Amino acid sequence: MDKNLINQLKDKLEEGKKNIEEQLEKFALKDEKLKDDWNTRFPHFDGGETGSAALEKAADEVEEYSILLPIEYGLELRLKNINLALEKIKIGKYGICEKCGKEIPLERLKISPEAKSCAKCQ
């Protein structure tokens, strides 16, 4: 694969990585011990309200937390695939299907530069 093209795809991957990390930072904290792992912040109840208003607020915050968990997971998965693609570029194995070992078509990589397999194997 052409070196200029690899650099263009690398730039696209790095931009995607930055965007995903910015999205995650809005509602999650990066886990310093596990690579590519983020933890959705659980809401902290301020305790300023009492009675049914406090319960309603707490329920809303728990609901929001439960909605953010699958979003976090999806973004983490995309981030992991991007980091894997960047690592493959470093070691010279980028653009090779993990299943059949053939080159992933350039059109596919342009659309999804983090692709791990060719369309046939996916």
Q: Quote the pTM value.
A: 0.83
- Amino acid 48: pLDDT: 65
- Amino acid 36: pLDDT: 83
Q: How far is CA 94 from the centre of its chain?
A: 19
Q: Using one digit for the tens of pLDDT, what is the confidence trace for 58-108? A: 888 889 899 999 999 999 999 999 999 999 999 999 999 999 999 999 999
Query: What is the pLDDT averaged over residues 11-39?
Result: 94
Q: What is the mean pLDDT of the chain?
A: 91
Please give the Cα distance from 79 to 19 (Å, whole number).
10
Q: Using one digit for the tens of pLDDT, what is the confidence trace for 108-117? A: 999 999 999 9
Please give the Cα distance from 99 to 50 (Å, whole number).
57
Q: Which residue is it, tokens 């902290």? A: 44
Strand partners, 40: 28
CB neighbours of residue 39 within 10 Å: 14
- Amino acid 21: pLDDT: 96
Which of residues 55 and 29 earns the better pLDDT score?
29
